[in-house]
């Protein structure tokens, strides 16, 4: 029981610190493009499937309307995406990549790839970590869903 009480030994803190490091790495790599880290995640989601509704983007990047709405407004102002009411269901809004967003795909990916490689993270630990994180994340999510 006492094992849980020390700051250094808490898994939450290890996740929190690593998340913070990723945030800093991406912030720095994306700065020249005038993009933030969560904004970049939205671009990635749209690259997998352009023209999503805001709600669908939210499901992909796990963000609610209170976060996404102002964020996408900013991305629109910065010329990364466009926003228009769906013709089919005019409650929903369709978000699409601009030409600028499509054209800068390679440059952005390269900047991030370089930043990641500079850290010297090994391929095997990359995938092992992904696997473990996925497992823990799913358990936590499942447990959270069951409570509601």
φ/ψ of residue 94, rounded to 5 = -95, 125
65 part of the interface to DNA, by CB under 7 A: yes
113 binds a copy of itself (CB under 8 A): yes
Q: State yes or no: residue 66 binds DNA (CB under 7 A).
A: yes
Rounded to a whole number of angstroms, the minimum distance from the CB of residue 17 to a copy of itself is: 5
Residue 46 and residue 96 in contact, taking contact as beta carbons nearer than 8 Å: yes
The residue count for binding DNA (CB under 7 A) is 29
Report which DSSP code applies to 7.
Answer: S
Distance, CA of 143 to CA of 69 (rounded, Å): 28
* Residue 81, Ramachandran bin (φ over 0: left; ψ between -120 and 50: alpha; else beta): beta
Q: Strand ranges (DSSP E) for the chain?
A: 52-53, 81-85, 93-97
**Can residue 103 be called a binding residue for a copy of itself (CB under 8 A)?**
no
Q: Which of 10, 51, 74, 137 binds DNA (CB under 7 A)?
A: 74
Instruction: Give which of a copy of itself, DNA, none residue 118 binds (C-beta under 5 to 8 Å, depending on kind).
Output: a copy of itself
What sign results for the dihedral spanned by CA atoms 121, 127, 129, 130? Answer: positive
Q: Which chain residues interact with DNA by CB under 7 A?
A: 20, 23-24, 36-39, 53-56, 58, 62-67, 69-72, 74, 83, 89-93
Q: Which chain residues interact with a copy of itself by CB under 8 A?
A: 1, 4-7, 9-22, 24-26, 28, 37, 41, 44-45, 47-48, 60-62, 105, 109, 112-113, 116, 118-121, 125-126, 128-130, 132-137, 139-144, 147
């Amino acid at each position: 029981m006492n094992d849980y009480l020390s700051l250094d030994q808490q898994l939450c803190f290890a996740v929190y610190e690593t998340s913070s490091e990723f945030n800093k790495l991406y912030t720095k790599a994306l700065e020249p493009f005038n993009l933030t880290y969560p904004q970049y995640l939205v671009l990635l989601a749209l690259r997998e499937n352009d023209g999503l509704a805001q709600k669908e983007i939210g499901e992909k990047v796990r963000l609610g309307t209170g976060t996404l709405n102002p964020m996408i407004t900013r991305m629109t102002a910065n010329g990364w995406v466009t926003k228009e009411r769906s013709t089919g269901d005019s409650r929903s809004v369709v978000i699409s990549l601009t030409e600028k967003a499509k054209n800068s795909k390679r440059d952005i990916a390269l900047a991030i790839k370089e930043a990641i490689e500079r850290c010297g993270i090994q391929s095997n630990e990359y995938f092992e970590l992904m696997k473990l994180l996925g497992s823990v994340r799913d358990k936590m999510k499942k447990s959270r869903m069951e409570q509601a």
